Amino acid sequence: MAHFTLRSLTLTGFLLLAGCSGLPDMADETVGWSAQKLYTEAKESMGDGAWDRAIKMFEKLEARYPYGRYAQQAQLEVAYAYYKSNEQASAVAACERFIKLHPNHPNVDYAYYLKGLAYFNEDLGFLGTLSNQDLSERDPKAARESFETFRTLSQRFPDSKYTPDALKRMRYLVNALASYEVHVARYYLKRGAYVAAANRAQATVKDFPNSPATEEALFVMAKSYDALNMPELRDDADRVMRKNFPNSRYLGLGLPDDKARAPWWKMW
């Protein structure tokens, strides 16, 4: 009986060791699949909107067949799958990896474009939709990263089919960043930090002179300088505002009601 127990334990230990070894997992349906088979399955999953399965297929493909055209293409395709599954950070990382490994690839312009899109949509998450938060009130880091990525695309690949859309998004992002700066300036103004409000508004006018936010920036400057008892600077800001925005809703008004203002990003 003792021999039987010892033999059973030995057999059990062997099986456990075998399970921890490098033996293939027979529960994995992809065991033995070729690179082409893995790629085809991943593409079909993408076509069905099964992004998680597509990601797994692409990752298995690259792990098992790290060289060759299928692995190279998988590195780019998985970035898109991450993007569609709202894993923006992973999408950015995948794009950056592809750009680093294949700087001269025929589709590297797409990698830049996709990276810019991932940053662009980073703030459009589920919680932001629920709260209906104005995007100009959020940390502008993602917007700046998106702008810089699109700018690199437009400069390096001016003839890319993705460049026209990138340029449109860059114009939008400029307005977004300007709106953020004005939001901060308005915040300072409401709390009586008039010097900070004037400086932030002035920076908006200087850095984003053609954005719609310039109108409110001039208004904040005039209000701040008036509170600081600096009539010359106040009158300068007021004069520029009246010249450029003769029908401005801010003329003769106090601070606008934030709740009455439609979020700027809804114009997109």
How long is the chain?
268
The candidate with the shortest Cα–Cα distance to 107, out of 59, 75, 82, is: 75
pLDDT at 250: 84
How large is the greatest C-alpha to C-alpha distance in the chain, in angstroms? 104
| Secondary element (H or E) of residue 11 | helix 2-20
CA dist., res. 251 & res. 237, Å (int): 12
CA dist., res. 108 & res. 98, Å (int): 8
pLDDT at 249: 85
The distance of Cα 2 from the centroid of its chain, to the nearest Å, equals 65
pTM for this structure? 0.72
pLDDT at 68: 83
For the chain, domains (ranges, CATH) are: 34-97 (1.25.40.10)
pLDDT tens across the length of the chain (268 residues): 544 454 454 444 444 444 444 445 557 788 889 999 999 999 999 999 999 999 999 999 999 999 888 999 999 999 999 999 999 999 999 999 999 999 999 999 999 999 999 999 875 543 343 345 554 456 688 889 999 999 999 999 999 999 999 999 999 999 888 988 999 999 999 999 999 999 999 999 998 888 899 999 999 999 999 999 999 999 999 999 999 998 888 876 544 444 444 433 233 2
Percentages (nearest 5) of helix, strand, coil residues in the chain: 70, 0, 30
